[in-house]
Structure 1
Amino acid sequence: MTTQQIQLIKQSWASVAALDTLTVGTLFYDKLFSIAPDVRPMFRSPVSDQSRKLLSMIGYVINKLERLDEIAHEIGGLAKRHVHYGVKNEHYTVVGEALLWTLQQGLGHQWNDEMEAAWTNCYRTLSGAMILASKETATA
């Protein structure tokens, strides 16, 4: 990710994080479950709890984008936990789709091609690291 992309992500995330957590989470999970209904059973907590966890984790990672090496172990740990929940590599694609759609909805007129490219690059970087860590879990 470029410095410009990181700044775009941080600025746009500040706008999304200022929105109601449950509203953002509901948008995300409704979209996710509509495009991938098979993942619904993996989420046993209420949407309000899941939303808080999701936005908290995204915020944490966004704050560390310039220093991803500092949280690589945590990203790997998160991926390994996801394997135990039943997450498969192909799920990362639908989660990315739901995330980008949610960001677009939350940001409205602020969303543009440059921002979409930045978020897509960010998500691919992070999901790639998680997929790699999950493969290590599968072979362990």
Structure 2
Amino acid sequence: MNPQTIALVRTSWNKVKPQAEPAAQRFYERLFALYPETKQLFQEDMDEQRRKLMAMLDTAVDALDDLDAVLPAIEELGAQHACYGVTGADYDKVADALLWTLGQALGADFTPEVQGAWTEVYRSLAEAMQEGAAADALDCP
């Protein structure tokens, strides 16, 4: 990941963070509207789920300079998601909802360059999560 990608994601994330709660709400509303079948993947309190989503994104954005440092945690997250029933196709659904949400939160600041940077970051994270899911798929409780 190049420095420009990291800078674009960090700058845009700093604009989204102050509106984290409504952005998370919009994300799940969009995800469930586009892909109603994903709703069954979320068993816990959605307030808590929204907080976890934003915290995970914040951690990932902070770690963009050294993703290798958080790679084991990202892979473990992927393994946990596999246990919940998340499949490879679900990552594309989340990408759709996430990019839409970022576009809504950023408005005119969601330029093609920013969208491309977020797409690159999301793909990297999703690939790591899917690798973790594949490695630990049989270790579900």
Normalising to structure 1: TM-score of the pair? 0.95
Report deviation, 1:31.
Answer: 0.6
8 Å Cα contact 1:75-1:129 kept in structure 2: yes
| Cα distance in structure 2, aligned partners of 1:47 and 1:106 | 20
SS for the counterpart of 2:15 is helix
8 Å Cα contact 1:22-1:47 kept in structure 2: no
| Cα distance in structure 2, aligned partners of 1:123 and 1:138 | 21
Q: Deviations over 1:95-135 (max 9, x none)?
A: 01100000000001111110011000111111011111111
| Cα distance in structure 2, aligned partners of 1:134 and 1:97 | 21
| Cα distance in structure 2, aligned partners of 1:56 and 1:93 | 20
Aligned amino acid, residue 30 of structure 1: E
| Cα distance in structure 2, aligned partners of 1:22 and 1:70 | 27
Aligned amino acid, residue 100 of structure 1: L
Aligned residue for 2:71? 72
8 Å Cα contact 2:83-2:137 kept in structure 1: no
| Cα distance in structure 1, aligned partners of 2:41 and 2:132 | 19
Aligned residue for 1:44? 43
Normalising to structure 2: TM-score of the pair? 0.94
Gaps of 5+ in 1: none
Give the count of matched residue pairs. Answer: 139
Q: Deviations over 1:35-57 (max 9, x none)?
A: 11111011122332111110001
| Cα distance in structure 2, aligned partners of 1:51 and 1:138 | 25
Gaps of 5+ in 2: none
Moved over 3 A (4+): none
| Cα distance in structure 1, aligned partners of 2:102 and 2:109 | 10
SS for the counterpart of 1:116 is helix
Aligned residue for 2:18? 18
| Cα distance in structure 2, aligned partners of 1:54 and 1:25 | 7
8 Å Cα contact 1:6-1:66 kept in structure 2: yes
Mapped pair 1:5 → 2:19:
no
Quote the RMSD (CA, aligned, Å).
1.2
